[in-house]
Structure 1
């Protein structure tokens, strides 16, 4: 072989080697076992200075495997002048903001995070979405998208008060007539939010035009906490202000459970056993047993049993030579408990 031909062969081999080692490749596909499921609970809360985004950590992959840690979140934000907004146009999201992740607790299996949003301009509409990833090449699909229009919000409702009865809570607050910057606010509406006992706040009812609300969806023996925000309309969107200071109301249960029915007795050699039918009230806590001797005018309570028992054994009952009568009442979980009327007396046989 001639020297020139040999050089050409060597060069060709080098070119082929180079091409095989550095040739163009498609993007690698992330293993499904590492890709988190999309976040589906992204939400926002407006504040005096902007907004706060909240969402939960995903706890499993798209293939159903448990996740122990999220490396990071990628938060996307878009800003559009409200006057130029087009609901059929694509949303012009900016480059994502990296938000650090962390370990997902094993015991609770759930973790949430928040992100403060600032630098909002009046008269603009804002859009947000977020995705999570367990590594550089394992991003999830997009979360649900949230949006709101930012304008100078209404002032915070003041002097929220609540009056509770056994079946409702009546709320009142001072009407809002200004924005936070002191300018006049017209056609203000209000949103009431409530949490029960140690639960989380949830909006209840429709938007209100008057600074008052009556909550009839309450149950006795529970504590309810309320807060109110004012909203004004701008370019077809509702601009929400910050929530008021919460107010707590305790609904007192004044209703006793139903009186026990079908009270019966069975005398044994050393006692009298008393039986009755249970009620079906959700807050039924137990029963009280009363005994009256034939020569007595009023019964006395001789015992108490808690749910789910509906039997009591009177080991101190007099023998069959003396008349003895029994009756039973029920009581609920209130403090102090509400007690029903006693059942009709039944003679021990």
Structure 2
């Protein structure tokens, strides 16, 4: 055998064994990178709204390390139901089951909203409903559960009927009737009212601060010229729970300023070298736009407007009179509403025109 060839074989074998010895060394366990999870939700709330159950909670902003949470992907909603007939059975309490996987999306270029709201539209049977929420990240790491909330649910009461709205200046009056089936109903707990604008949904919080026991309500937090929609819902108080029924027929209206300013107080009219001067006291109406001056002849029944809109002054000079005739002057006030409501005529002031 060639000596060089034999040495080359031994050298190759040496490197081969060396590689094997390095490759077969003892390996350390893989290092798993730490993945923070969202802090648990602690303010889960439960309501009865619109004939079903509504949950509301704050969106977690921090992770378990106290840093800003940047990879929140969604929420898991867990529910447990105990039928009424099994409430007294200590061994009949089932486990919580996953009700809904709710994705969370942050709007492009902006922060997400502060609260999440979920309507459980799978509430049908009478009994006790319990819920808790957990969140998960984009890496499917789930947080611990939130606080548990409970509600005893039973079929709600029917909504009010014949709901009517009457608009006025920055006010909407609502009136309704209760269905005959609620006559003598001991569980009836009043009415809740909800309002929305044209581009909004109804909030989970009613417009009224406490249940309404009358059949009317006045909404004084409206803006003239904006369209509003309303629904009413009946409340049922039973077993320590307040249950809200379904919507009444929706009604809508637009409040408008239809109230004219106060009638001006015309104080003086006389003829000067420049013409006939009409003077009045300034109005104090907050939405005052200005004034108009009117005039009629002695034998005329209808007064005619003779001035443009007078915005600042409380005096007007009439140069269009005819000497030798008698005139009667009056003043009206105009507001800034879209309707430009005009007041009644002031008392008339008489002037017998003479040649200058």
Contact preservation (8 Å) 2:75, 2:135: yes
Contact preservation (8 Å) 1:194, 1:224: no
* Aligned counterparts of 1:299 and 1:158: Cα–Cα separation in 2: 51
Residue of structure 1 in register with 2:309 after alignment:
304
CA offset at residue 131 of structure 1?
Answer: 4.5
Give structure 2 stretches of 5+ with no counterpart: 1-20, 90-94, 352-356
Residue of structure 2 in register with 1:216 after alignment:
218
**Is the counterpart of residue 28 in structure 1 residue 31 in structure 2?**
no
Q: Which TM-score applies when normalising by structure 2?
A: 0.56
Q: CA RMSD in A?
A: 5.8
* Aligned counterparts of 2:296 and 2:280: Cα–Cα separation in 1: 18
Picking from 89, 101, 122, the partner of 1:118 is: 122
* Aligned counterparts of 1:204 and 1:136: Cα–Cα separation in 2: 43
Picking from 144, 149, 170, the partner of 2:152 is: 149
**Is the counterpart of residue 172 in structure 1 residue 173 in structure 2?**
no
* Aligned counterparts of 2:282 and 2:347: Cα–Cα separation in 1: 13
* Aligned counterparts of 2:44 and 2:338: Cα–Cα separation in 1: 36
CA offset at residue 329 of structure 1?
Answer: 0.7
Q: What aligned pairs does 1:1-349 form with structure 2 within 5 A after superposition?
A: 14-15=25-26, 17-19=27-29, 21-22=30-31, 27-29=34-36, 46=49, 50-51=52-53, 72-79=73-80, 81=82, 83=87, 94=97, 97-102=100-105, 104=107, 116-118=120-122, 120-129=124-133, 131=135, 135-136=138-139, 147-154=150-157, 156-157=158-159, 159-162=161-164, 164=166, 166=168, 168-177=173-182, 186-195=186-195, 198=198, 200=202, 202-204=206-208, 206-208=210-212, 212-218=214-220, 225-248=229-252, 253-259=257-263, 279=284, 281=286, 284=287, 286-292=289-295, 298=303, 300=305, 302-304=307-309, 310=312, 318=319, 327-333=331-337, 335=339, 337-341=340-344
Q: Which has the larger radius of gyration?
A: 2
Residue of structure 2 in register with 1:181 after alignment:
none
* Aligned counterparts of 1:18 and 1:288: Cα–Cα separation in 2: 92
The alpha-carbon distance between structure 1 residues 170 and 118, as it changes in their structure 2 partners (threshold 3 A), is: closer
Contact preservation (8 Å) 2:196, 2:230: no
Give structure 1 stretches of 5+ with no counterpart: 1-9, 86-91, 179-183
The alpha-carbon distance between structure 1 residues 280 and 332, as it changes in their structure 2 partners (threshold 3 A), is: same
Count of aligned positions: 300
The alpha-carbon distance between structure 1 residues 124 and 344, as it changes in their structure 2 partners (threshold 3 A), is: same
